[in-house]
Amino acid sequence: MKLQRISRREWLGGAAAGLIAGCGGDTSASKTGKAGSRAFGVVFQTMNNPFFVELNEGLKSVIEQHGDSLITLDSQFDAVKQRNDLSDLMLRGVAGLFVNPVDWEGVRSSLQQAKQKNVPVVIVDAPVRDADLVLCQVASDNVEAGRLACRRLAAKQPNAQVVILDLPANKACLDRVAGFNEELAKHPGMKVLATQVGKGTTEGALPVMRDMLGRYPSLTAAFPINDPSALGCVAAIEAAGKQGTIDVVTVDGSAEGVKAILAGKILSSSAQFPREIGKQAAEAIYGQLNGKPPAKEIQVRVELVDADNAAKFLPKS
């Protein structure tokens, strides 16, 4: 997928004059491109994850059906860059914003700025602490995703010795760990040996898992909070010559994660439906602009993926 990328100078040079359109009000001040169309903006914590590429496609499908356009920016897991990206979009005069926060607390100043400018904001995938500053939040049921992961692990290993690779700056990941630990409390034979920050990427998870393999020789399972992290764990396990002895359960249900399940490298993933998240988020903002405010919290279902059903989650060719 080719993403639209615009330099900061181009943004500033193209900044729209006048007032930015408010929630449910006239949007003529934020029209760009062809006559009658509006531009919306989305800022992702990263685009180096198929999940967010799919979510972006869900947003675009609804926005383009309305004859409007979507500007997509990648913050590259940098909270400062994300603040600058959001400021640039507001300066551009977008009709609304979709935000996938790098830091669920640190994004507050940008949300305040949007509220002051009366720009509607919908949070996607990873909730923020300051829910009062946004129109609504659309995300997977991340607590249930964590429960599903632990439940599947417990079915195979009722006495699993687990390490967790989390991402505490991200509320969705905190919720997954909370759900995992909630379910784990029902299984007295299971134990969490350690929780470490895995950075949410394959590259970030690999050295963390490698270190924990050395420090916890009794570990028999890992719960990384997303598929990219899980693939990093798998790489560390294989490098240590321990494949087949350590089960990995995770969250996402991405194509790469599903392939790893079918190859016997990952035990399970709790599938999310990113296109549906994107579609519902876009529909929420159009509802607001048309005078029909959405619910403050919109949860999208999750589903367990393991060897029994993984084939149906493979992308259709």
Note the residue count of the chain.
317
- Which residues face 161 on adjacent strands? 191
Alpha-carbon distance of 187 to 163, in angstroms, equals 16
Alpha-carbon distance of 226 to 51, in angstroms, equals 10
Q: What is the pLDDT of residues 244-253, one digit of tens each?
A: 999 999 999 9
Q: What is the mean pLDDT of residues 180-202?
A: 97
Alpha-carbon distance of 116 to 263, in angstroms, equals 51
Task: Report how far apart, in Å, the C-alpha atoms of 67 and of each of 34, 60, 92, 107 are.
Answer: 9, 10, 18, 30
Task: Report how far apart, in Å, the C-alpha atoms of 268 and of each of 127, 150, 155, 284 are.
Answer: 24, 10, 11, 32
Render the burial of 151-175: b for 16+ CB within 10 Å, e for the rest.
bbbbeebeebbbbbbbbebbbbbbb
The pLDDT score that the predictor gives to residue 15 is 33
- Cβ within 8 Å of residue 117, ≥6 positions away: 20, 90
Helix, strand, coil percentages, rounded to 5, for the chain: 45, 20, 40
Q: What is the mean pLDDT of residues 156-167?
A: 97
pLDDT higher than threshold 50 for residue 1: no
- The mean pLDDT of the chain is 89
- Which residues face 162 on adjacent strands? 192, 221
pLDDT higher than threshold 70 for residue 293: yes
The pLDDT score that the predictor gives to residue 2 is 37
- The encoded tokens of residue 249 equal 């359960």
pLDDT higher than threshold 70 for residue 167: yes
Q: What is the mean pLDDT of residues 230-238?
A: 98
User: Under the phi-then-psi rule, with left for phi > 0, alpha for psi from -120 to 50, and beta for the rest, what region is 36?
Assistant: left
- pLDDT-derived band at 316 (thresholds 50, 70, 90) equals confident
How crowded is residue 109: how many other Cβ atoms within 10 Å of its Cβ? 12
Looking at residue 36, its amino acid is G
Alpha-carbon distance of 51 to 255, in angstroms, equals 9
- Which of 43, 154, 59 is closest to 97 using CA atoms? 43
pLDDT higher than threshold 50 for residue 18: no
Q: Is the pLDDT higher at 53 or at 7? A: 53
Name all domains of the chain by residue range, CATH numbers in brackets: 8-139+273-300 (3.40.50.2300), 142-272+306-313 (3.40.50.2300)
Alpha-carbon distance of 84 to 59, in angstroms, equals 22
